[in-house]
Structure 1
Amino acid sequence: MAGGEGTRLRPLTSNQPKPMLPMANRPMMEHVLGLLKRHGFDDVVVTVAFMASAIRNYFGDGSELGVRIRYAVEETPLGTAGSVANARDLLGERFLVISGDVLTDLDLSALVAFHEERGALATLALKAVEDPLEFGIVITRPDGAIERFLEKPSWGQVFSDTINTGVYVLEPEILDLVPSGRPVDFSGEVFPAALAAGRPVYGWVAEGYWEDVGTLEAYLRAHQDVLDRKVAVGDLGFELRQGVWLGKGATVDPAAEVRGPALIGDNVTVGPGSVIGPYTVLGPNVRVGENAAVERSVVHDGSHLASGVRVEGSVVGRACDLRQGCHLEEGVVLGDEVFVGAAAVLKAGIKVFPFKTVEMGATVNTSIVLESRGARSLFGRQGVTGLANVDVGPELALRLAMAWASTLEKGSTVTASRDTSRAARVLKRAIMVGCNAAGVDVEDLEVATVPVTRFQVRSGPSQGGITVRLDEQDTQSVVIRFFDRDGIDLDEAAQRKIERLYAREEFRRTFASDIGDLRYPARTLEYYTAALMDRIDVDRVAKAGFKLVLDYSYGTASFVMPNVLAKLGADVLAVNPYAATARSIGGDRQGAAARVADLVRSSGADLGAVIDPGGEHLTLVDDEGRVLADHEALVLLVDLVTSRGRARRVALPVAAPSAAERTCVSNGAEVTWAKLAPAHLMEVASDRETDFAGSLEGGFIFPRFLPAFDAVATVAHLLDLLAEPDGGTHRLSRWSSRVPRIWTAHEEVVTPWEQKGTVMRSLVERLAGRDLVLVDGVKVLDAEGWTLVVPDPEEPVTHVWVEAASEEAARARVEEQAARVRQLLV
C-alpha cells in the first residue's frame, strides 16, 4: 500500500510520496520490497494515489529488484480496505497486505505459517509500542484470537500497548465484506464485521523491528536504529571500519574525520577538516566543504554544505544549498531545494518548506512553518493555553484563527467573545483578523460569559464560536476555547484538523472582495434570558419569593444575572457585582463561599452561590449556611432533578460519587457515563435523551436549554426545582441533608510517556474477570466504592482516584493502588 501522503513528515514529503522518502539512502518502499523478496513474495500489487508517477517511474515493473510489480490506482481516497478491494481483480489467492512506508524486518514467513495453522480468514501482525496513541490498539485472547479493536485512542482509552502494524495475511473472501463506492478501513469496519459474523480473525505478536516512521522525530530515530543494526535492511555499502559504511565513488579527505556509526552515500565528497559525527547519513552526491560539522543528521541526495557549516540533529532535503558558516540547530528540517545564506542561523525546531530562501546572516528564531516540538499537542484540556503574549501571542492567535476558519466554508459566520482582560482583548482582535482574512464573518459579542457565547452560536447564524479568557488557575496565562456550531467544545477530530493546518500553515487566503465582515449582534442578553425563561415556570418561582446571596466574582455573569433575576422576582444580595479584571483574577473560591455562607445565615436567605468569572461553574451554599463541596452539590442536584421527575437520563463523569449513581437508580433514572474531560461530558449531554449532566468541578448542564455548563441557568433551574405551586418552597438544606458523606482520595504517579500503554495493558490483564468500567481509564467497582486509574493526556503522570467508606480507608486505598501502579513501571 503506497498511497499515503505522509503529511506529518512535511516538508520532506511536500514533493514526494512517503514511500519514496529515503531511509538509509534508499526509498522506504524499496526496503519493504526487499523484505518481501527475502520471504518469497515475488508477485506484488502496489496501490498508489498521491504522486503515483514518482513510484511508477522509480520501480517500474519491479524486474530490477527481482519481483513482479503491478499497480492499482486509487482515484479517490478509499481507506485501507477500500484501497485493497480496488485491486481485487489482481488478488485471486491468499495475499499479504503491508504498507510501503514503514521500516520493518518482521518474520513474514512465520506470520503466514501462523495464519495457516489457525485456519484464519485474517491474521494481523501486532507489535507492542511505547506510545500507542497514533495507532489502532488490538486486544487478543491467549490463543491469539482477536477480541477488540480501538482506533487511535485517547490516553483514557489505552487498555493495551499492543497495536496493529497494518501487516495482514488475508484470504480473498474477506474482500466480500468491503462495501464499494466509499472509504472503508480494515480495523474500523471490515475486521469488526468479520468478528461479528463469527469468522476467525487472529493476531500474531511480532518480535522483530517495526517503526511507522510517521513523524520527523521517528524518521531520525529510525535512521539511528538502522545504523545500530537494530533492524535488518540489507547491505549498507562497503564497511570501511566497524560502524562506518561508504558508498561507491565516495571521497573522504584524509584530514576529515568520520565518527561512526555513519553512512556515507555514493559519490559523496567530504572536505578536509570536516567532522562527520555519529548517526549521520549523507545521501548520494552530497558535498561537504572544509571544516564543516555534521552530526546526528540526515542529508538527502544532491545537497551542498559549504565550508564551516554546522548541522546538528537535523534533516536536510534534496538539493539544498547551505552556504558558508550557516548553522542548523537541533531539530531543523529543510524541504527540497532550500537556500540558506552564509552565516545564517536557524534556531532549534524550525521547518522551512521547499524552494524558500533564508537570507545571508539572518537569524531565524521564529517559525517559518511552526513545528510541534515542546507541547505534545496544540490543544489541551480546556483549549489552547499558554502564557499571555509569550506562548500565546497575537501572531499565534492570528495563525490559529486562520487555520480554524480554513476548516469552515468561505462566507461562514462565527461568534467571538472575551473576558474583561486586556490580554484577551488583544488576542481576540488578532483572532477576528485571522477569521476575516480567511473569508469568515465574525459576530463580536465583545465581553460576554462563556454560556452566552455558546447560546449565540446555537441560536444565531454562526457555524462556530471562540472565546478568550484568562486562566483562572494561572492568571499569567490565557485560554482560547473553540466551539462547534452547536456551541459545544470542538471534539478531538476537529482539533487535530486545526492542528494539521496550523502546523503546515495551509491557510485559505481570500481575494480582497471576499474578506470577511465584522458585526455586533444586538439584544443577545435579552434573547438568552427569554430562552431561559421558556424553560422555567416563571410565575411559580416569582410567587415563591426567593431570597438569594450571589457572589459574581467580578466576572461577566454580572452582565447576565440581573436580567434573569428580574424575571424571576427574586430578592438578591449581590456581592462583587461588577466586572473587573484586576479583582477577578486570583480569587479565593473557598474564602468567597465562606463569606456568602455568613451572609446567608445573617440574612435568612434561601440559598447562596459563588459564580466563577466565566459564568460556567458555581459553589452552592444551602439555607443553613453550609457550603457544599462540588461532589456534594452534584449528588444534591441529581437527587432533585430525578426525584422531581425532571430527568430520566443523567450523564455523569466516570469519577462521580457512587451516591450519584445510586440516587439515579432509586429514582428510576438511567446513568450514562462520560470521560473526565468536560468536552466529552458536554458531548454526551448533547444527546436528545439526556436531561441533566454534572461535573466534579461545580459545572452543571440542563441540556434542554443549553448542553453546556452554565451557572446562571443552574441557579434559575434550581429555583424552579425548589418552588412549590402554592407559593411555598423546599428548603435546600432538606436536600443537602440527604447527601451521604463521600470520601474520596487522589494521587498522581509519575509515569514516563513511553510506559503509559504498558501500565494500562498490565492493569487490564491483572483485573481480568473483575467488574470494570472502561470509559476513561480503568474503573474497578467493589462493595466499598471504586478505584479509577487514568493516564493524564498532557503530563507524564497517571491519576489514581478512589472512593471508600471513610477518609482513612480512602487514603489507605489510594496509597495502595498508587503503589501497584508504580510496580507496573518497568
Structure 2
Amino acid sequence: MQCVVLAAGEGKRMRPLTAKKPKVMLPIVNKPMIEHLVLAVRDAGITDFVFVVGYHEQEVRNYFKDGSEFGIKIRYTVQKKQMGTGDALMAAEGLVDDTFLLINGDMVLKCADIKKFISLPPPCLGVFESSHPQDFGVVTVESGMITGHVEKSKNPPGNLINAGAYLFEPEIFKILSSVTLSERGEYELTDALAGYISECRLSACTLESWLDVGEPWNILDANELLSENLSDDIKGTVEDGVFVKGTLILGKGSVVRSGTYIEGTCIVGDNCSLGPHAYIRGFTAIGDDCHIGHSVELKNSVILPCTKIPHFNYVGDSVIGSGCNFGAGTKIANLRHDNKNVKAAGRDTKRRKFGAVVGDNVMFGINCSVNTGSVIGSDVSVAPGSFVEGKIDSNTRIGR
C-alpha cells in the first residue's frame, strides 16, 4: 500500500509562523509536524510515500530527501497553484497504482488508528467525534456507511467530522477529473465523495485519537499530546543544583544551569542554555540554539530555534517564532480577568489560557507587556516599556 501526503499549502491561518515555511514543517516536540504523521504511517506498515508539495516546497524536500533516513521511500509531486484538496490529489495521478492512504499533512494520528483504518476495504473515510463539529465538515453515518456530508455549518447534523484521512482506489482520479470548481474557486475532494455516498459505498472508520493542527494555538495541543509517554533522554549537561520533577529531553551541547527548576515534560534542542534559576513548566518545547536565562519562567509554550529569552521574562501558553529576542522584564499575559476564552485575531482559541503568537525575528525592548491573544507578525520591533495587544502586521515598529 502507498500513502499520499498533502503538504502543499501555506496554512494562512498559521500566519505569521508560515511566512517563510510551509505549515507542515512547523515544529511539534521539536520535529516538523509532518514527521510525526509520517512515522506513525511507517510504523503501521506503509513505507512507500508520495508527497504533494508546493508552498516553500524546498524545505520539505531538503528535510526528508528520498526518505531513506526515515526508513521509507518518498517521491514528490508539485501542486503548482493551491486550488483545493481535489486539485492537490490530482497532482499525484500516475504515481499510485493500487489502494492508497490519503492524509492531510497537518494533523496528528496515532499508529494504532492507522493500522485499523488501512485494514478496511476502500473507499473509506476516517471520522472523529468532535466537541466543536461546526468548525469542520460533518458526516452522518448509518450502519457504518457514510450517508451525508455537510461542510462547515452553524447547525451541524451531528458531531462526527471528516478527519481528512481516506482510503482510496485509483478510480478516485477518474472521479476527480469531472469535479468542477466550487464556490470558493477550488476543486474540492469532498465533491468527489458525493457519488460514493449516493451509492452507499463510502464506509466510516472512527478514529480514537485525532488532532487538527490548523491554528497556531493547536500547536500547543499537539505538543502536549505528542509529549505523552516520552522518557528522559539527556545528551547535554545538567549542572548540580538543578531540580527536575518530570521528563527532560535535553539535546547535545545544551546546558541546564544551577538553580533551574523543571516540572512536567520539557523538550530542549541542541546547543541551548537554560538558567541559572529558570523555571520551566510542563509541555514546553525549546528549539535548537535558544537561550533561556536568569529568572525566566516558561509555561506550556513552544519556542522555535535561535530565540533568546534571557532575563526576568514570563512566557505562558504561547508560540514564539525563531530568531526573537526578549528584553529584560518583558512578559506575556495568558489569562483574561473574566476567565472567558481568549480570542486571537478575532478567532476563538477555545482556550481559557493563551498568551501570544509571535512571528520570526521579533525584537522586544525591556519591560514590554504583551496582552492575551496578541498575534505579532515577523520582523516587528517593540520599543522599551511598550504595551502590545491585538494583531500587529509584520515589519511594524511599536513605540518610540
Report the TM-score range of the alignment, normalised by the length of the smaller protein: 0.7 to 0.9
Matched, 1:273 2:277: yes
Residue 348 to residue 69, structure 1, CA distance change in 2 (3 Å):
same
Alignment check: 8 A CA contact 1:277 1:295 kept:
yes
Q: Which has the higher strand share?
A: 2
Per the TM alignment, residue 199 of structure 1 is displaced from its structure 2 partner at its CA by 6.2
Matched, 1:334 2:358: yes
Paired position in structure 1 for 2:115: 109
Structure ID, larger Rg? 1
CA–CA distance in 1 between the matches of 2:232 and 2:21? 23
Aligned residue identity for 1:340: F
1:285 to 283, 289, 302: 289
CA–CA distance in 1 between the matches of 2:389 and 2:136? 33
2:27 to 5, 22, 42: 22
Aligned residue identity for 2:104: S
Q: Which has the higher helix share?
A: 1
Q: 1:535-550 to 2 correspondence within 5 Å?
A: none
Paired position in structure 1 for 2:54: 49
CA deviation vs aligned residue, 1:433-458 (integer Å, no higher than 9, x gap):
xxxxxxxxxxxxxxxxxxxxxxxxxx
CA–CA distance in 2 between the matches of 1:235 and 1:221? 19
Q: Which runs of 5+ in 2 are unaligned?
A: 1-5, 236-243, 335-354, 396-400
Matched, 1:345 2:369: yes
Residue 139 to residue 131, structure 1, CA distance change in 2 (3 Å):
same
Per the TM alignment, residue 238 of structure 1 is displaced from its structure 2 partner at its CA by 4.1
Alignment check: 8 A CA contact 2:373 2:390 kept:
no
Per the TM alignment, residue 322 of structure 1 is displaced from its structure 2 partner at its CA by 1.1
CA–CA distance in 1 between the matches of 2:71 and 2:132? 36
Paired position in structure 2 for 1:184: 187
Match of 1:216, SS?
Answer: coil
Matched, 1:259 2:256: no
Per the TM alignment, residue 174 of structure 1 is displaced from its structure 2 partner at its CA by 1.9
CA–CA distance in 2 between the matches of 1:83 and 1:366? 34
Paired position in structure 2 for 1:249: 253
Per the TM alignment, residue 354 of structure 1 is displaced from its structure 2 partner at its CA by 0.6
Match of 2:264, SS?
Answer: coil
CA–CA distance in 1 between the matches of 2:164 and 2:207? 12
Matched, 1:297 2:301: yes
Alignment check: 8 A CA contact 1:177 1:194 kept:
no
Matched, 1:123 2:124: yes
Per the TM alignment, residue 257 of structure 1 is displaced from its structure 2 partner at its CA by 1.0
Match of 2:217, SS?
Answer: helix
CA–CA distance in 2 between the matches of 1:334 and 1:323? 14
Q: Which has the higher contact order (CA 8 A, sep 6+)?
A: 2
Match of 2:252, SS?
Answer: coil
Q: 1:420-435 to 2 correspondence within 5 Å?
A: none
CA deviation vs aligned residue, 1:759-780 (integer Å, no higher than 9, x gap):
xxxxxxxxxxxxxxxxxxxxxx
2:167 to 160, 166, 169: 169
Aligned residue identity for 1:215: E
Per the TM alignment, residue 173 of structure 1 is displaced from its structure 2 partner at its CA by 1.2
Residue 211 to residue 7, structure 1, CA distance change in 2 (3 Å):
same
Aligned residue identity for 1:102: M
Q: 1:545-624 to 2 correspondence within 5 Å?
A: none
Paired position in structure 2 for 1:211: 211
Aligned residue identity for 1:12: L
Alignment check: 8 A CA contact 2:146 2:200 kept:
no
Q: Which runs of 5+ in 1 are unaligned?
A: 370-503, 506-826
CA deviation vs aligned residue, 1:687-732 (integer Å, no higher than 9, x gap):
xxxxxxxxxxxxxxxxxxxxxxxxxxxxxxxxxxxxxxxxxxxxxx
Per the TM alignment, residue 74 of structure 1 is displaced from its structure 2 partner at its CA by 0.8
Match of 2:149, SS?
Answer: strand
CA–CA distance in 1 between the matches of 2:82 and 2:388? 37
CA–CA distance in 1 between the matches of 2:118 and 2:311? 52
Q: 1:418-817 to 2 correspondence within 5 Å?
A: none
Count of aligned positions: 356
Matched, 1:98 2:99: no
Per the TM alignment, residue 241 of structure 1 is displaced from its structure 2 partner at its CA by 6.2
Residue 87 to residue 366, structure 1, CA distance change in 2 (3 Å):
closer
Residue 36 to residue 51, structure 1, CA distance change in 2 (3 Å):
same
Per the TM alignment, residue 365 of structure 1 is displaced from its structure 2 partner at its CA by 4.2
Match of 2:294, SS?
Answer: coil
CA–CA distance in 2 between the matches of 1:285 and 1:254? 19
Per the TM alignment, residue 236 of structure 1 is displaced from its structure 2 partner at its CA by 7.8
CA–CA distance in 1 between the matches of 2:207 and 2:232? 25
Give the % identical residues. 29
CA–CA distance in 2 between the matches of 1:367 and 1:153? 27
Residue 326 to residue 111, structure 1, CA distance change in 2 (3 Å):
same
Paired position in structure 1 for 2:145: 145
Paired position in structure 2 for 1:65: 70
CA deviation vs aligned residue, 1:254-274 (integer Å, no higher than 9, x gap):
211111122222222102111
Alignment check: 8 A CA contact 1:24 1:236 kept:
no
CA–CA distance in 1 between the matches of 2:258 and 2:95? 54
1:325 to 329, 335, 359: 329
Residue 201 to residue 244, structure 1, CA distance change in 2 (3 Å):
same
CA deviation vs aligned residue, 1:587-642 (integer Å, no higher than 9, x gap):
xxxxxxxxxxxxxxxxxxxxxxxxxxxxxxxxxxxxxxxxxxxxxxxxxxxxxxxx
CA–CA distance in 2 between the matches of 1:133 and 1:53? 35
Per the TM alignment, residue 11 of structure 1 is displaced from its structure 2 partner at its CA by 1.3
CA deviation vs aligned residue, 1:555-597 (integer Å, no higher than 9, x gap):
xxxxxxxxxxxxxxxxxxxxxxxxxxxxxxxxxxxxxxxxxxx
Provide TM-score, normalisation by structure 1. 0.42
Alignment check: 8 A CA contact 1:292 1:306 kept:
yes
Matched, 1:3 2:27: no
1:193 to 163, 187, 195: 195
CA–CA distance in 2 between the matches of 1:112 and 1:296? 34
Residue 148 to residue 58, structure 1, CA distance change in 2 (3 Å):
same
CA deviation vs aligned residue, 1:228-276 (integer Å, no higher than 9, x gap):
44xxxx7784497643322233211121111112222222210211111
CA–CA distance in 1 between the matches of 2:167 and 2:282? 38
